[in-house]
């Protein structure tokens, strides 16, 4: 698809340990248009984080992209030289991490950490970066930003740290923001504020967002489109409202009925049917057998 900010096609990632090869992503394809918010849903181990890691070039040891491409604004991240990719990260592609408690450097003051990104990626000088850091904190609704820049991460709450990480992610007007379950580590009351903040910033800057989550409720509220992943394969893809209202794939339907809802009794919850999981895994194995060459 032309014009897409991110265009992933036929992406295969495999873990190589000596002679054994473990497929992690089995030909994933997804595209995000400028300004689009796309949910990426799936249970643990489905490969959501692997996609994010592949984009950032931070696959775990032994894992690598064995086939396919991940085009960012028409340039293939998978084939890109390391320095070129590094220039994009932080500036054009940013991440909102999962755990705000550990994602800030514990011995650096907040202001210094925000200013570092601005200096290295935004091209500001030391002084301008420091001033801009204060403005950015104010933009993510942190009270007394002048004082907060002087604090260390452990002196702030989880919600405040996540705001700071969001400020850092949006600091250089990125085209693509990957939000990796940005609210899972937070209090429910703080979650809404954080989501609102991401939505506002995304809207204002026109950035595309890949929203990684396993919370279908968030997808319904926040995303225009959604990609459902299972065992490293895309099982369903489409407009969020349509997919959630009338899932075409049995797995999406099962996932929906496994989600607790206020308007349905608790005993309406059903775990994923065993036969469905077995079918899906058998499909994955059949795919691996037919495409063994894709993982080398």
Residues that bind another protein (CB under 8 A): 56, 58, 85-91, 94-95, 97, 99, 102-108, 116-117, 120-121, 141-144, 147-148, 150-152, 154-157, 159-160, 163, 165, 168, 192-193, 196
Judging by beta carbons within 10 Å of its beta carbon (0-12, 13-18, 19+), is residue 213 exposed, middle or buried? buried
Least CB distance to another protein at residue 200 (A): 10
Least distance in angstroms from the C-beta of 188 to another protein:
13
Distances in Å between the Cα of 34 and the Cα atoms of 175, 187, 261 are 7, 31, 32
Q: Is 218 helix (H, G, I), strand (E, B) or coil?
A: helix
Starting at the edge strand that comes first in sequence, how are the strands of the sheet with 6-17 ordered? 20-32, 6-17, 63-72, 75-76
Q: Which is nearer to another protein, 184 or 279 (CB)?
A: 184
Smallest distance from another protein to CB 164, Å: 10
Supply the minimum distance, in Å, between the C-beta of residue 225 and another protein: 24
Choose between 91 and 222: whose C-beta lies nearer to another protein: 91
Residues 6+ apart with CB under 8 A from 44: 214
Q: Tell me whether residue 150 or residue 205 sits nearer to another protein (CB atom).
A: 150
Nearer to another protein, 75 or 154 (CB): 154
Q: Measured from the CB of residue 251, what is the shortest distance to another protein in angstroms?
A: 30
Instruction: Kindly state the greatest CA–CA separation across the chain.
Output: 61
Q: Tell me the Ramachandran region of residue 143: left when phi exceeds 0, alpha when psi lies from -120 to 50, beta otherwise.
A: beta
Nearer to another protein, 46 or 115 (CB): 115
């Amino acid at each position: 698809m032309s014009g897409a900010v991110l265009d992933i096609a036929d992406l295969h990632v495999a873990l190589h340990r000596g002679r054994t090869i473990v497929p992690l992503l089995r030909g994933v394809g997804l595209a995000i248009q400028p300004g689009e918010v796309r949910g990426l849903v799936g249970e643990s181990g489905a490969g959501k984080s692997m996609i994010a890691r592949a984009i950032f070039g931070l696959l775990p040891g032994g894992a690598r992209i064995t086939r396919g491409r991940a085009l960012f604004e028409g340039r293939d991240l998978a084939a890109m030289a390391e320095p070129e990719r590094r220039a994009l990260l932080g500036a054009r592609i940013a991440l909102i991490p999962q755990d705000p408690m550990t994602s800030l450097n514990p011995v650096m003051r907040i202001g210094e950490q925000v200013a570092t990104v601005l200096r290295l990626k935004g091209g500001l000088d030391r002084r301008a970066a420091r001033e801009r850091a204060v403005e950015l904190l104010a933009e993510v609704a942190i009270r007394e930003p002048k004082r907060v820049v002087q604090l260390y991460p452990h002196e702030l709450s989880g919600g405040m740290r996540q705001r700071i990480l969001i400020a850092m992610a949006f600091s250089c007007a990125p085209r693509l923001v990957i939000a990796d379950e940005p609210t899972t580590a937070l209090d429910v009351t703080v979650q809404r504020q954080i989501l609102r903040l991401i939505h506002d910033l995304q809207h204002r800057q026109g950035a595309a967002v890949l929203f990684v989550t396993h919370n279908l409720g968030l997808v319904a509220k926040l995303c225009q489109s959604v990609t459902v992943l299972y065992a490293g394969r895309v099982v369903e893809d489409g407009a969020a409202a349509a997919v959630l209202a009338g899932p075409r794939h049995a797995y999406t339907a099962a996932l929906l009925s496994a989600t607790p809802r206020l308007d349905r009794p608790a005993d309406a919850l059903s775990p994923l049917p065993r036969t469905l999981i077995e079918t899906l895994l058998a499909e994955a194995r059949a795919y691996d057998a037919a495409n063994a060459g894709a993982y080398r």
